[in-house]
Amino acid sequence: MLEQSAIDALRVETLSARGHFIDGRSVDAGDSRALDVVSPIDGQVLTTIADGTPAVMDRAVAVARAAFEDGRWSRLAPAARKKVLLKLADLIERRALALTVLGVRDNGTEINMAYKAEALSAAATFRYYAEAIDKVFGQIAPTAPDILGLVHHAPVGVVGAIVPWNFPLMIGAWKIAPALAAGNSIVLKPAESASLSLLMIAELAAEAGVPDGVFNVVTGKGAVVGEALALSMDVDILVFTGSGATGRRLMEYAARSNLKRCYLELGGKSPNIIFNDAKDLAQAAKVSAAGIFRNSGQVCVAGSRLLVQEDIHDDFVAELCRHAEAFRVGDPLDLSSQIGAVHSLPELEANLSFVEKAASEGAERATGGDRILTETGGYYMQPTVMTGVKPQDTLSQQEVFGPVLAVTHFKDEAEALRIANSTVYGLAAGVWTADLSRAHRMVAGIRAGVVHVNTYGGPDMTVPLGGVKQSGNGHDKSLHALEKYVDLKTAWIQL
């Protein structure tokens, strides 16, 4: 159980300037400048991180390539890699509170959520892939009697990973753990505004026994070191979670360089559909409010479009607004806070501009919509519900990535499905109904990678997460994630 006194002791620790992590050790920024790390809790500078250059990134990639080629990790038996990754999971678990507080100071997620979704989730992810890797086999093809056709799983080589600021440990682990388990080397580029906890993970990996050069972290601006990583001729695949605009650039860089494979988990504008026959509308309202407002709406699968059948619309929205107004927004390191900070001032300003835009297009504020707690110096916003939002409106079509919910009513199942599929995104969705046949029809009809039925959020490591349409390609989580990090190699043997 989390204790406030332990959290408070960690929150006041002075943080030293951080360098990159390359070849098993922290390295100075060299000729690059330092970047300030500003806490969204109070708007104050926490520390600095190295502002990497293309030369630094090239060095990290070269180190990762050398480590892969000499086999110090790639040619270890799966059971040996498993032992190291299990130790890493134990170390993460042992340092879970320190990792969590460090991450919350960096990105503003409320600590009750961050402790489970970040540190403990990362430990579980490393443990999952450690346990899986010696249980994943190649195949024997059904060929002629005098031929032996074997399909081997070979590590791809050097993995370039770029991860976002909203859940850096969780999403980072989704990429690092299967990549390492499969025998690859990795160069990780964290978000420049949320690098601290991932730098600590790299240190713990070295302590666990991951060989020098196998796991490297380069910090800095995406337009500089992220571009250098994507353009590198020595990176074999690129995995990314973030915006569609950046994803497009990464695909261009891949084409301009060595045609490296790109796996992209991009934005979402996920519909959460409430039918009038839902078994428990009060529970649906409670869960739907959490599904958009936790972590200040900064969740890729957030149910940011609420579609409500018209005959229950007013009562349902009123109930949801009661939940929204009851959330305690405040210091994310205070255990009594239910919603923390918006990640940065630019993000907060963008959220507020979406509210203004929605109002200009005819939507109405049912609740929220303002910046609050300005006296703290931090970046906080009320949970916001906008009603009367039309399917073609900006708030229906563009990802906000903040605590702003667009509410639209519908007449029947056909209209709900049409509205649900009316954006360029296809990451997640929710359906609330007591009709089993309708639930199956909606799961089949909604174009999304994940469809929740009578719940929202919560799928664990046993199932994949990925998007369709402009929400990306490839999958994180589950055994399917390993498919990104291996090449299939055929051996055709005449007997």
Q: Where are the domains of the chain?
A: 4-266+472-494, 271-460
What's the predicted TM-score (pTM) here?
0.97
pLDDT at 134: 95
Strand 215-217 relative to strand 486-494, pairing: unpaired
Q: Is the pLDDT of residue 31 over 70?
A: no
If one counts every other C-beta atom within 10 angstroms of the C-beta of residue 186, the result is 27
Structure confidence by residue, pLDDT tens digits, 100-120: 999 999 999 999 999 999 999
> Per-residue pLDDT for 32 more than 80?
no
Asked whether the beta carbons of 273 and 310 are under 8 A apart, the reply is: no
Q: What is the pLDDT of residues 7-23, one digit of tens each?
A: 999 999 999 999 999 99
**The domain defined by 271-460 carries CATH number 3.40.309.10:** yes
DSSP β-ladder status, 371-372 and 237-241: unpaired
Strand order in the sheet with 147-155: 139-141, 147-155, 486-494
φ, ψ of residue 143 to 5 degrees: the values are -110, -160
- If you average pLDDT over residues 474-495, what whole number do you get? 98
Instruction: For residue 342, report the phi and psi dihedrals to the nearest 5 degrees.
Output: -70, 145
How many Å apart are CA 389 and CA 397, to the nearest integer? Answer: 10
Is 483 assigned a catalytic role? no
Beta bridge pairs of residue 79? none
Q: Which residues contact 362 (CB under 8 A, 6 or more apart)?
A: 388, 390, 393
165 Cβ contact list (under 8 Å, min separation 6): 106, 107, 190, 191, 193, 194, 343
Domain 4-266+472-494 indexed as CATH 3.30.565.60? no
213: helix, strand or coil:
coil
Give the position of tokens 């708030």.
Answer: 395
Q: What is the DSSP letter of 210?
A: P
Look at residue 430 and give its three-state secondary structure: strand
Annotated catalytic residue within 110, 118, 192, 265? 265
User: Do the Cβ atoms of 423 and 324 come closer than 8 Å?
Assistant: no
Query: Rounded distance, CA 141 to CA 241, Å?
Result: 35
The Cα 130–Cα 127 span in angstroms is 5
- Banded pLDDT at 30 (limits 50, 70, 90): low
Q: What is the pLDDT of residue 57?
A: 98
Tell me: the pLDDT tens digits for 329-356? 999 999 999 999 999 999 999 999 999 9
C-alpha–C-alpha distance, residues 307 and 317, integer Å: 10
